Amino acid sequence: MSAPNKSYDPVEVSSLQPDELDQARDEALAAIAAAGSLEALKETRLAHTGDRSPLALANREIGALPPAARAEAGKRIGAARGAVAQALKTRQAELEEERDQRVLVEEAVDVTLPWDRAPRGARHPLTTMQERMADVFLSMGFEIAEGPEIEAEWFNFDALNFKPDHPARTMQDTFFVESEDTGVVLRTHTSPVQARALLSRELPVYVVALGKTFRTDELDATHTPVFHQMEGLAVDEGLTMADLKGAIDAFVTGLFGGHLPVRLRPSYFPFTEPSAEVDMQCFVCRGASIELGAEPCRTCGSEGWIEIGGCGMVNPRVLTAAGVDPERYSGWAFGLGVERTLMFRHGVKDMHDMVEGDIRFTLPFGMEI
């Protein structure tokens, strides 16, 4: 009777048998050769060398072999894994080379094509108009002030002395964010910047604010629901209507040239007292078209004057709401619509042109910087 085989171990693992390993290696090599893209190769790499791949699982079984069999099995599996790793490396290099060649062809730039045939745009005249307006105020020593387009109802109305039942507060005129009781609106004018500037700056305050404003107006030749306004504000000791008039004169001269006369007509705004509408003499006919038998003027409709905006002395209630002592300080404010100014300054007949984004409208204004 022969002695028992002491080297026999029942945990001998079939996955480590040469046939099994050769099969796993050959399958991996075939899959690598078949991978037609870097993406496919990535999946193949995972399937044949990842933690759950046949070769990795077999490698883990080495520990279960009898000690004498481990070195041999380790060599076999090492050779199989090495062959797979080498094949992966080679295929990866081939596929990268293919991709680079393809990119060179697909993304080639024909440098001989004419470069100057792409139509060039122009800055929007509303932008350049706002910059011109700001420049006039900056040259007088004013600073730019800003406020949010989505505004608290308090800044847009309450701080400006609009009574709770003022019609401008209704949804017919004002865009409310979500519902009327949120207290959040799209600002209907740039005047809320008045209160913001006074609350955030040291006195005296000399600022100009420009930007988008919103009202529930239908888009037509002279209205748009999204338009732009400019607002000048000065608060200092001893300011009077004479300072306001002087600043408007300087503004009109800065924007239109030629020292055109300006007149103020009594008006009403809750946040200024007294308030006035601002007219400037027509910069085209200079008032001559009102004479009997004179050439009619298309710019001012032969009125001789053009209405440009509203103004007034800042209402003491507004100063108080913004924490400014009205006994010591006084101020003036002046505001206008940028679209309307563009219309009469440049003879634009229809506001649609300003919002439709047609390059044929903006181009004639040139590439103003």
- Give the footprint of ligand FA5 on this chain (CB under 6 A): 189, 191, 215, 217, 223-224, 227, 229, 231, 269, 272, 309-312, 333-337, 339-340
Environment class of residue 137 by beta-carbon count within 10 Å: exposed (0-12), middle (13-18) or buried (19+)?
buried
Dihedral sign (CA 349, 355, 356, 358): positive
- Residue whose C-beta lies closest to ligand FA5: 337
| Complex with ligand FA5: residue 70 or 352, whichever CB lies closer | 352
Q: Which tokens belong to 324?
A: 């400014």
Q: Write down the least CB distance from residue 158 to ligand FA5, Å.
A: 15
Distance, CA of 12 to CA of 65 (rounded, Å): 6
Element (H, E) at 25: helix 18-34
Query: Smallest distance, Å, CB 42 to ligand FA5?
Result: 58
Both tokens of 75, joined, read: 């060599």
Q: Where are the alpha helices (DSSP H) in the chain?
A: 18-34, 38-49, 54-60, 67-106, 125-139, 153-156, 192-200, 241-256, 316-321, 338-346, 352-355, 359-362
Q: Which is nearer to ligand FA5, 334 or 365 (CB)?
A: 334
Phi, psi of 363 (to 5 degrees): -60, -45
Q: Which two tokens stand for residue 117?
A: 């045939």
The Cα-based distances of 18 to 21, 24, 318 in angstroms read: 5, 10, 93
Closest distance of CB 133 from ligand FA5, Å: 13
Which tokens is 164 given?
A: 């709770």
CB closer to ligand FA5, 130 vs 191: 191
Q: Which is nearer to ligand FA5, 74 or 270 (CB)?
A: 270
In whole angstroms, the minimum distance from the beta carbon of 267 to ligand FA5 comes to 8
* CB nearer to ligand FA5: pick between 206 and 334: 334
Query: 35 or 278, CB closer to ligand FA5?
Result: 278
Q: Tell me the two tokens of residue 31.
A: 């899959």
Contact 269, 157 (CB under 8 A): no
Backbone angles phi, psi at 177, to 5 degrees: -80, 115
43 versus 217: smaller Cβ distance to ligand FA5: 217
- We find the least distance from the C-beta atom of residue 178 to ligand FA5, in angstroms, to be 22
Q: Which secondary structure element, helix H or strand E, spans residue 145, and what is its range? A: strand 143-145
Give the Cα separation of 26 and 48 in Å (integer).
10
Instruction: Return the number of the residue (70 or 201) whose C-beta is nearest ligand FA5.
Output: 201
Q: Closer to ligand FA5 at the Cβ: 143 or 217?
A: 217
Taking the complex as a whole, the smallest distance from the CB of residue 216 to ligand FA5 amounts, in Å, to 9
Nearest distance from C-beta of residue 214 to ligand FA5, angstroms = 9
Q: Tell me the C-alpha to C-alpha distance, in Å, between residue 211 and each of 41, 106, 222, 230, 338.
A: 55, 45, 18, 7, 9
- What is the nearest approach in angstroms of ligand FA5 to the Cβ of residue 120? 28
For the CB of residue 96, give the shortest distance to ligand FA5 in the complex, in Å. Answer: 59
